[in-house]
Homo-oligomer: A and B are copies of this chain.
Amino acid sequence: MATRVTVWNEFRHERESDAVADVYPNGIHEVIADALADDFEVETATLDEPDHGLTETVLEETDVLTWWGHAAHDEVDDEVVDRVHDRVLDGMGLLVLHSGHYSKIFKRLMGTTCSLKWREAAETERLWVVEPSHPIADGIDEYVEVPEAEMYGERFDIPQPDTLVFNSWFEGGEVFRSGCCYTRGSGRIFYFRPGHETYPVYHQPEIRRVLRNAVAWLDSGSDSVPAFGNADPIESIDTSDDRSVH
């Protein structure tokens, strides 16, 4: 069965700023969806839809959710964040993009501030592949060069990634862990740094290839379901002790 992707976008900048609309006239989500459409079943959802477009039903039918947000992180309803959080822990993949590092859902999953350094100077970024055998790097050369990028620099306040796939160099002198894999609950998470609203990063073929690789990886886990709660012993043991305050 094809992987079902929901591409979520804040979709504010594109409607409010000419500089952004020039690059993403129909919204960043449409450009990302287009990058994924040949390989996956893709839907989109945006902040200003009811429930931000992320109803229980939508999430149930989503294998991988991609997340782009920036200026309106605080407007994302906590109930929707809870819902997305539950679905990730239950097995849905989550692709967090660029300024999504500061989204409620990413901070919730990481448990840290997810703070970083930043600078908007349309400078060169070079994403070096540090783990070439990882499926997210498949088909990618030694590095991907983004000619105009917003800088994100270390210290990036995240838990150490389970796997670091990309490591970025910036013209202004910084480095950044720009492709980070995590497992949380039964779900997989990939943070991928590129993608500023005023630069045409999501039109770049290598970046689009990484997006497709990431979605495929995010949906390649197991369907096994863990059990929790009070459990009878498997071995024959004495269970007569009755000291308990439960």
Contacts and interface: CB of A to CB of B under 8 A. Distances in A.
Interface of A: 13, 16-17, 19-20, 70-71, 89, 91, 108-113, 115-123, 126, 128-142, 148, 151, 153-157, 159-160, 162-164, 167-175, 177, 182-188, 197-199, 220-235, 237-239, 241, 243-246
A164 B162 contact: no
A121 B108 CA distance: 35
23 contacts: A16-B245, A19-B243, A109-B111, A111-B111, A111-B184, A117-B227, A117-B228, A117-B230, A120-B241, A120-B246, A128-B175, A129-B226, A134-B221, A134-B222, A139-B222, A148-B241, A153-B231, A159-B184, A160-B163, A160-B183, A167-B177, A169-B170, A198-B245
A19 to B, nearest CB: 5
Given A175-B169, A183-B133, A164 B164 contact: yes
A246 B99 CA distance: 12
Contact of A234 (B131, B172, B225, B245): B172
Contacts of A245: 13, 16-17, 19-20, 70-71, 197-198
B228 A133 contact: no
A243 B245 CA distance: 48
Contacts of A137: 222, 224
A89 B112 contact: yes
A49 to B, nearest CB: 21
Given A119-B230, A230-B118, A138 B169 contact: no
Contact of A237 (B116, B123, B238): B123
A227 B109 CA distance: 22
Given A119-B231, A198-B245, 11 more contacts: A16-B245, A108-B111, A116-B228, A119-B239, A120-B246, A122-B243, A130-B175, A137-B222, A163-B183, A169-B170, A171-B233
